[in-house]
Homo-oligomer: A and B are copies of this chain.
Amino acid sequence: MKAEIGARNCLYPMPTTLVGALVEGKPNYITIAHVGIMDPGSVSLGMNKMHFTNVGIGANGTFSVNIPSVKMVEETDYCGLVSGKNLDKAGLFKTFFCKLRTAPMIEECPINMECRLTRTVDFPSHDIFIGEVIETCCDEGVLTDGFVDLAKVDPILFTMNDRSYWKLGGRFAKAWSIGNKLKDRK
**Is A169 engaged at the interface, CB distance under 8 Å to the other chain?**
yes
CB-CB nearest in chain B for A105: B2
Q: How far is the CB of A53 from chain B (nearest CB, A)?
A: 16
> Besides A38-B44, A42-B123, A169-B170, 11 other CB < 8 A contacts?
A1-B140, A2-B96, A2-B139, A2-B140, A5-B146, A11-B15, A34-B37, A39-B124, A39-B125, A119-B121, A167-B170
Binary CB contact string for chain A from 112 to 125 against chain B (1 if under 8 A, 0 otherwise): 11000001010111
- On chain B, the residues within 8 Å of A170 by CB distance are 166-167, 169
- On chain B, the residues within 8 Å of A176 by CB distance are 77, 80-81, 163
Interchain Cβ contacts under 8 Å between A and B, 9 examples: A3-B143, A34-B37, A38-B128, A39-B125, A73-B179, A74-B179, A144-B162, A150-B166, A164-B171
**Is A69 engaged at the interface, CB distance under 8 Å to the other chain?**
no
Tell me whether A137 and B4 are in contact (CB under 8 A).
Answer: yes
Q: For the complex, count residues of A whose C-beta is within 8 A of B.
A: 102
CB-CB nearest in chain B for A115: B7
Tell me whether B3 and A137 are in contact (CB under 8 A).
Answer: yes
Q: How far is the CB of A82 from chain B (nearest CB, A)?
A: 6
Task: Determine the distance from Cα of A133 to Cα of B181 in the docked complex, in whole angstroms.
Answer: 33
